[in-house]
Chains A and B, each alone.
Chain A
């Protein structure tokens, strides 16, 4: 090796060392002290060991205003690249808070956009780890244009590749809209916040005094706003959550999720003990899911938000399915605004990525009341009907118990295009419950009776006997088969097998117009 080689290699190594040093040891220590990993450590935890390949690692800002020419840091506050997760290619960006607070300027945006373009071209999932103070003010509108480029790509890639945002620090202002367009948002419990306007602006505009955590912490977004789909205690657990979620998903909209063979024990024999025959008694529908899904395979999405509906991924015989289930233990499983939004978005995600849907029905109604009506339950509830109706993936329903009125229709009924509808023998498929129905259709008879209570009871018994069962629906073809609950898993497996190659067409159009 001659001296030129030595000089050039020395320069390369010096530049590489600067890339690896990020914002310097003091800032790395500060990042660790606040309970956060560095951007590079996060990539190491996210990807399969030794597979992460960084791209554009020497990109540097070209900005010169406001002294930016003296603050240039190699990499410009974001790490971008690709690697393997469960052996499949995945692209990612990870903002580096130790460099300029991870603020986004022109060069950082260019790096992120580049890796997003690569993900879309290679039809591989894209993961964005956010830990940034927001737009780099010194770079002015170039920062804003950078965000716009990211949002545009998020939108174009929507429904083509899975997009996941992981919030592991601040994510404020316009920056929130990239995660919002993505399919899933992960947050860390104590170290992440998302808000359009922070506490200081809130105070100056409205006078309200509120902490960053109270305004946009993971607790709030996981349970109140529904913005966050998954909340974890720390970075490592959170990134493991992302790895787990990716295991259920295909790489793109042209593939199916790879099957995963795990241990399976059919526990459907205990379903009749889990679900009380008395439709007024509650139970945890997650116990039902655990009984028929592959062992431990249920990964719940938005578990603390709109808890009257349970959604998530599971495996049945190794195949990924999306589960949508009414939660009897919460608001009796009735549907309302948030549950409709939550269910509809999940159904649409599954439909985008060829994931069959299994719907568990035990629903008394859409929740009545002024709050719901004035809040737009008509508009929101319609999303659920629309999402099911437009979905072309295999769709299986199990009517476990109550299935009343419009809520019955909305929960993947035969009329909305369900492929296979099963009902358990205790199912009650009707316009409404017996007492409500009798109060309307028996009103005159009860009023005219000498013993109104006796007539009312007689009419309720008659209604129960005639309508509160699955057999009328089965006779009319709205239920394909009435099954013993113990047969649930094997029937779902058979239906999934039968539907494996389902191809359902829809009329040509630019896109539908879902009520938003």
Chain B
């Protein structure tokens, strides 16, 4: 639960930064959980170690 609160606080902070305001000026009405996509669900169910390739990954 503590993690969820921290994540929510961080999300609010990010949105505030995007909007160029401070978190205190935002009012959170509700949070909606976004369900996993079929691919995300498949990856989770099968414990697959997956990272979608991003440009330049090969030089890391």
Contacts and interface: CB of A to CB of B under 8 A. Distances in A.
Interface of A: 32, 37-38, 40-41, 44-45, 49, 86, 236, 240-241, 243-244, 247, 260-264, 294-297, 299
A163 to B, nearest CB: 20
A261 B60 CA distance: 12
B55 A260 contact: yes
A239 to B, nearest CB: 8
B58 A41 contact: no
A247 B48 CA distance: 24
A247 B57 CA distance: 11
Interface of B: 37-39, 42-43, 48, 50, 52-60
Contacts of B52: 45, 49, 240, 243
Could you tell me the dominant secondary structure of chain A's interface residues? loop
Contacts of A44: 37-39
Given A32-B42, A243-B53, A236 B58 contact: no
A41 B55 contact: no
Nearest to A294: B59
A468 B43 CA distance: 58
B42 A261 contact: no
Contacts of A37: 39, 42
Contacts of A294: 59
Enumerate the 4 nearest inter-chain pairs by beta-carbon distance, A residue then B residue, closest first.
A262-B59, A240-B53, A296-B58, A41-B39
Contacts of A240: 52-53
A287 B42 CA distance: 38
Contact of A260 (B37, B50, B56): B56
B39 A262 contact: no
23 contacts: A37-B42, A38-B38, A44-B39, A45-B39, A45-B52, A86-B54, A236-B43, A236-B48, A240-B52, A243-B53, A244-B53, A244-B58, A247-B55, A260-B55, A260-B56, A261-B56, A263-B59, A263-B60, A264-B59, A294-B59, A295-B58, A295-B59, A299-B58
Contacts of A262: 56, 58-59
A297 B53 contact: no
A260 B55 CA distance: 8
A41 B59 contact: no
Contacts, number: 47
B47 to A, nearest CB: 13
A296 B38 contact: no
A32 B39 CA distance: 11
A180 to B, nearest CB: 26
Nearest to A247: B55
Given A37-B42, A40-B38, A41-B39, 5 more contacts: A240-B52, A243-B52, A244-B53, A295-B58, A296-B58
A294 B48 CA distance: 30
Contacts of B43: 236
B53 A41 contact: no
A247 B59 CA distance: 13
A297 B39 contact: no
A296 B58 CA distance: 5
Contacts of B59: 262-264, 294-297
A243 B37 CA distance: 20
A264 B56 CA distance: 12
A236 B54 CA distance: 13
A244 B59 CA distance: 12
Nearest to A32: B42
Nearest to A243: B53
A32 B42 CA distance: 9
A173 B15 CA distance: 54
A97 B37 CA distance: 19
A236 B50 CA distance: 8
Nearest to B43: A236
A103 B53 CA distance: 30
Contacts of A263: 59-60
B51 to A, nearest CB: 8
Contacts of A244: 53, 57-58
Contacts of B38: 38, 40-41, 44
Contacts of B57: 244
Contacts of A260: 55-56
Nearest to B40: A44
Contacts of A247: 55-56
Nearest to B45: A32
Contacts of A299: 58
Contacts of B60: 263, 296
